[in-house]
Amino acid sequence: MFNRRRNLVMYVLSGAVLAGAGVLGVTYYSLRLPRPAKQLVEELVPAERGLVVAHRGESVDAPENTLVAFRLAKKNKAAGVEFDLSYTSDGHAVLLHDDDVDRTTDGTGPIDQLTLAEVRQLNAAYNHKYRDKVGTVQIPILEEAVQECLRLNLTMFIDVKGNATKSAAVLSSIFRQYNLFNKAIVCSFSPYIVYKVKQAEPRIVTAITHRKWFLSESVIGRPRFSSSIKHYLAVIADIILEWSIHHWLYDICGCSVVLMHRHMINKDYLLSWKEKGVRVVVWTVNSADEKQYFHDTLKVSYMTDCTRPGADCANQTT
């Protein structure tokens, strides 16, 4: 009698486990977004010929995220540019990396509390070392950036900072309007943003951007939180996020490309992504030795703040 009850319990538990696994499997594949055609990905990120991409444009020698920086990147023979997308208080998409305009312009305050008219009055070159040479430079709107990159024949890496729902609508619209599917990649540190953009327009090639300890540490290695509890919770979240990106998030988001920090890159790491059918773009590579290693030895695409031939700006690596 006891054995029969034990067997019954085992059957019920086994059935529950199988049912749970089935539900998880169905959920996974129902949420999983399709990847674009391999030929399209090859056009954007060639497998055997690493691209040189200007990070925020030629940001060492020109104001970052401006048309001036894009033109200089093209002059220096960059194949593409990366730029950052933010939104004004009245909903316009503009190019800005930070949450506020303080670091790069002569203005102050969060970008989402300024109207487009107010943003257009700012000088994006105000704090740049070559401000006297370049003069007054406006923060571009997204459409201006797209038009200029198309004119210059530059591949675009559009880094979305926030506002997933709005970004999905804005980007899906502009990709269709300008037929950017073989001209641009949408990327973000937020897998949710990547998912929403891909969901809105499956033809867009998307990429998750990542570096180690992104949630718990700033890019220069300082803790984001003064509270020990918050810091260690962020560390745990970082471990989960990194494992998830490498094992299933890239797949469920339909990503064909990942943007990874240079400190994570080696031959075995690149091979692991190649086996998944995913291209890697490295950021941000500023020393001459690293440029040569990534381009000539690993033959991987990379982003740099200084595309000038022979330039070494390692002290400005981000």
User: Beta 205-210 vs 301-304: how paired, if at all?
Assistant: unpaired
Q: Report if residue 217 sits inside a domain.
A: no
| Spatial separation of the C-alpha atoms in residues 238 and 122, rounded to whole Å | 36
| Spatial separation of the C-alpha atoms in residues 169 and 164, rounded to whole Å | 9
Q: Report if residue 273 sits inside a domain.
A: yes
| Spatial separation of the C-alpha atoms in residues 116 and 21, rounded to whole Å | 50
| Per-residue pLDDT tens digits for 39-66 | 999 999 998 788 999 999 999 999 999 9
Query: 47-81 burial, b if ≥16 CB within 10 A, otherwise e?
Result: eeebbbbbbbbbbbbbbbbbbbbbbbbbebebbbb
Q: Report if residue 104 sits inside a domain.
A: no
| Per-residue pLDDT tens digits for 160-185 | 999 999 999 999 999 999 999 999 99
Q: Report if residue 196 sits inside a domain.
A: yes
Mean pLDDT by 10 residues, the chain (318 residues): 52 50 59 91 90 96 97 97 98 97 97 98 96 96 98 98 96 98 98 97 97 91 93 96 97 97 96 96 95 93 90 68
According to the model, what pLDDT value does residue 313 have? 85
Q: Report if residue 269 sits inside a domain.
A: yes
Q: Report if residue 215 sits inside a domain.
A: no
CATH number where 95 lies? 3.20.20.190
Domain count along the chain: 1
Q: Report if residue 197 sits inside a domain.
A: yes
Q: Report if residue 226 sits inside a domain.
A: no
Q: Please name the residues in contact with 169: beta carbons below 8 A apart, sequence gap of 6 or more.
A: 200
Q: Domain range spanning residue 46? A: 32-99+142-210+253-316
Q: Please name the residues in contact with 290: beta carbons below 8 A apart, sequence gap of 6 or more.
A: 262, 314
| Spatial separation of the C-alpha atoms in residues 15 and 147, rounded to whole Å | 57
pTM above 0.85, yes or no: yes
3-state secondary structure 194-245: HHHHHHHCCCCEEEEEECCCCCCECCCCCECCCCHHHHHHHHHHHHHHHHHH
Q: Are 242 and 210 in contact (CB under 8 A)?
A: yes
| Spatial separation of the C-alpha atoms in residues 100 and 277, rounded to whole Å | 37
| Spatial separation of the C-alpha atoms in residues 268 and 8, rounded to whole Å | 48
DSSP per-residue string spanning 148-181: HHHHHT-EEEEEE-S-HHHHHHHHHHHHHHHT-T
According to the model, what pLDDT value does residue 221 have? 82
3-state secondary structure of 291: helix
According to the model, what pLDDT value does residue 309 have? 73
